[in-house]
Amino acid sequence: MKKLAILIFGLFLLNSCKKEAQTQTETSAPNSKEVSLVQDAVKLKNDKGEEISVTYFAEGSEVAVKLQKTGAKEEKLSAKSTSSNGNPIFTNEEWMWEMTQEGKGGRLTDKAGNSSEYR
């Protein structure tokens, strides 16, 4: 009878450890239902009448922006820093975008340093 009680207690203890291990692996798994945050595209124009489409979106824990000039390919820019005015700056190898007016405008600068204000 004593051996039977020890066996039952051992099985109970073993089963308890399995449940704890399963719970830990389930909670440490990445959330596959994570929603990507993408804002609607905003159309902006500069003084020359050139139009650009600007879309802000989440890229991991950072914010990024997609820019597309009329007739050109879409460019993806990653957040890099802030300007002296406190405005976010997004860049890639070719372009720099400084967001102004809470996302309702900005300044686009090319690799050569030519810039244009979009509203």
Question: And the tokens for 89?
Answer: 């700056």
Average pLDDT for the chain: 82
Computed on alpha carbons and rounded to an integer, the radius of gyration of the chain in Å comes to: 27
Q: Which sign does the torsion angle of CA 46, 116, 66, 105 carry?
A: negative
User: What is d(CA 56, CA 58) in angstroms, rounded to the nearest whole number?
Assistant: 7
pLDDT at position 107 is 95
pTM of the entire predicted model: 0.67
Q: Where are the domains of the chain?
A: 42-118
Strand order, beta sheet including 75-82:
42-45, 51-59, 62-69, 75-82, 88-91, 95-100, 105-110, 115-118
Residue 24 has pLDDT above 60, yes or no: no
DSSP letters for 34-58: PPP-BPPPEEEE-TT--EEEEEEEE
% of residues, the chain, pLDDT over 90: 55
* Cβ count near 79 (within 10 Å): 17
Query: Alpha carbon 98 to chain centroid distance?
Result: 17
